[in-house]
Every structure is written in structure tokens, then in C-alpha cells.
Structure 1
């Protein structure tokens, strides 16, 4: 096992871990796979390097991701933070970027097999410049007709984030944020957020979007 610099990769998916181990090798780097931030060891001698994998398969996965973001924002140590997203959930890069105050780098999971991810990942670790994934700032999907703000108002609370926390992060008045969510609910013909959650848990609402119309 490589005993070099530790790079923590947070994921609960064993299939993804196996795939990463077979596809990614960086000389002098020890990839340490963890399921939550409680498994991370902070060193006094080197910065903390973490790659979070955005998993939206369940509300528990979203809550785990939120806990990791909160933890990384709270600890006062030198750190380098990356987030691996896919085209299905890249619309959340805007919110995540704001949570980290812009101090985060995004990677596209669809580049794993092409070798582009490994090149970018290696450049990121070594501090070299590379073309990172752009933050999605505006879009409207063609499945439900939701705007970026509407998606955020519906999806982020599933992680345990309050509407007040969301409005503060987005720089929007709290009452306005509630109105944004209410408008989104009207677009799909439901009257309460609880009903939305029930549809999501029942698999009748998809929050991973692969049909985005960018504006």
C-alpha cells in the first residue's frame, strides 16, 4: 500500500470504490475511502485533502453529504476540497460552491473512463492549473420546468438544511425562498412540501436531472 499523502474520498458505494481503485493511480498518493468525515484523520504536517462524491440516491446520502460540508466548513485547518458530480446532479454545483465560498473544485464523473479525470485529479493534487468543471449558475429543466432556485428549494431540504440556511446561502430573503418553493410545487400540481417528499420517497419524483435546458 502506498504510504504517501492521504487523499480522502467520501463515498458509501462499494461499486464506485472498486471502480476508482482500478481506474485511478497517482504516484505518492494514498487514496483513503471513507463513508463519513468521522473516519478522517487530520494531520499537523500536511493539509487535509478530500474528494466528496455527491450521492443523491437517498435522503440519508444527502444528509451524509451535508454533514461532510458542515464539518469541512467548521474545521480551521489547511484543506483542499473537491466534489465529484455527474451530469444528473451538476445543477447543485451552484449551491455547493456557495456553501464553500468558492473554495472547491468540481470534477465530472463521466470523465472517469476517458482518463481526463485522472489527469485533472493529478493536476489538482499537485497544484497545477487545469480546466475544471464549470459551476452551473442558470438552467431550466424540461421535465418539470423548474429553475435552478426552484430545484434548490426542493432538493436541499432533503439533506436536513433548513429554509433559513438555504436562503442565507443563496442570498435571498427567507420568505422569498418559501415562495420560490411554493411556485415549484404548483408546477407539478401539489400543494405541500410534505407531499413532494412522499412522492420522492415513493420514487415518483426524480431529483437527478439528465435533461437540462441551459439558459
Structure 2
């Protein structure tokens, strides 16, 4: 299914590792970008326009609750965002340290962790803000769209039906699994109740008998391959 949500395994064992390896100069940016899209439900235009000021206090502390201003949200309504996930916090810390180390959007003062509060949070591969394109009276996050597409493709998930919309759908499903009410999901993501219900029907892990069968089949297949490899060593 095109645009399907991703599983936890695909997020933590494919999407992040394959884009955030030690050889990747922008691994800290990549990880923060992926986690913001999958854990907080930020859309592409929001990821493009968010600034350091939203996430860092003047004293240099990370905000745990952020209110996205209506001027940058996809639907023109302000939304709260909670930054409680420990991996997301660590991603912020590593990314901020990387910016300071490379003197990107940084100033020699202690306010806002030493970063320019008005600078875009996420930088493109050229170390500048992601660019946008005009679409009539609206703007399109063209550059960030391409970057997310490439991250998905590099993780080997594009041909498996994963698209940019998959990331925010994953956020909705994970919040629901963790006990967040539909009303709160609506407030945090900006989705309507009907849209949330449609997204939740895509959570194939709820179909546990079918899911378990396929998981067990994949496990049996891997065990057969491992067994064959061991036997082959002794046959040569």
C-alpha cells in the first residue's frame, strides 16, 4: 500500500541507521529530521520554517512543550507539540552541539545555547536553510520534500510503499498505541477525527493473527537460510 505507515523496526533498524551512519556528515541533522517527522507529526512546510527559538529557551534549555505558531503550520492554526521522547531529546542535543562545533548559525554568547534564535532549525545539505518555491499565494517546501524522499529511498523503503505521508501517519498510530486520546491527537497533529480513524485502519499490526503469521513465516524463512549456510560450510 503506497503511503503506508512504517513499523518500529523499519524506523529504528532501517530509516535511521541507513541515514545516520558515522560516515554521514549530516547524520545528526538526518536523525533529528526523521524523528521530528515520525514522533511529533510535523509536516514538510513546518519542518522547513521552524526556528531555533521555538525549541530553546533564552537560558539555553530545550523546551519540552512547543507551540507552533499559526504563521508556519500547514493549516494555519497553532498546534502544541510535546518533545518527551528520550531519543528525540538526545537528537536535539547532538544536533545543537554539531551546529556549535561547525559554527553554523551560532554566536559567541550563552543565550539560546549559543545559537541564532531566529535561524531555521534544520539546515539543508549546503548548510543553509531549506529553500521553498512559490505556488500562487502559498509556498511549497520543495527542497525538504526531496530530502525526505531521498532518506526514505536510501533506507530501501520507497519500493515498499513508504512515502512522506507515511511518517506523519506513523506518528498518529504510535500516539494512539500509547494511550493518547483521539481528541488530543487531533490537537497535536491537526488532523480531523475522520482522518485519524482512516489512518488507524492502516495499522496492520492491530490485525495480530495475520501479523503474527507473517512475522513467524519470515522468522522461519530466516532460520532455514541460516541453517543452510551452516550446512554449506561443512559441505565444501
| Higher strand content, 1 or 2 | 1
What is the TM-score of this pair, normalised by structure 2?
0.32
* Greater relative CO, 1 or 2 (CA 8 Å, sep 6+): 2
Give the number of the structure whose residues are more often helix, by fraction: 2
